Structure 1
């Protein structure tokens, strides 16, 4: 599982930056496909995201590289979503009912719980 945090709003540009980062990591491991597990948020399914992914995949197929095979989550059937149990356990392990956690505490706890390495957050570029 690859996790990355965002500074700003999760817009299409942030999704594109995340995909580029993930493809780079997977290419270094010799992988040829990236299957992001996505909900139906506008920045995942919007025209810009779809066209950029399609263009990248054409280049990756022609020149070699990591293609993106989006795995969409069911909209109205969360029980069919295999990732939900992981998120439920993760949320329960992270929260403290007595207080709100700081952003730094959330990052630290998420990385500790899921065993991922913390990295710099992706920053939303303001036009």
Structure 2
């Protein structure tokens, strides 16, 4: 089962850089102040995996930015779901985000998991370079295969 993984995150407080076109007067963003009593998270993240076999999207929302531990937790969750369906491996295409190539994820790649955490992980970084269209920015790509119990 091939999967395509990506994530997005946004700050609840940082003003986005948006442009808008309108036939009337220019649109304006309203800048609000943060309530000091607000205990909500400063950022929110959404992880997703598009399954090539079913076209289903597995989504998970988390508080905070995507970091290595959150990425590992998401992959663990996905693998548990797929293992319950009898899937044996998850070949996965994802981008070259810093939390995908972090020391934590590389340690999993080398099989340096703590004792008792025998999940397999292999990252194939020897993929051929992607063809680039004129004007496109270079983007990294990794394919990972994760074995499931």
Q: TM-score range by the shorter chain?
A: 0.3 to 0.5
> Taking CA–CA contacts closer than 8 Å with sequence separation of 6 or more, which of the two structures ends up with the larger relative contact order?
1
Structure holding more helix per residue: 1
Structure holding more strand per residue: 2
TM-score (norm. length: structure 2):
0.38
TM-score (norm. length: structure 1):
0.44
* Greater radius of gyration (CA): 2
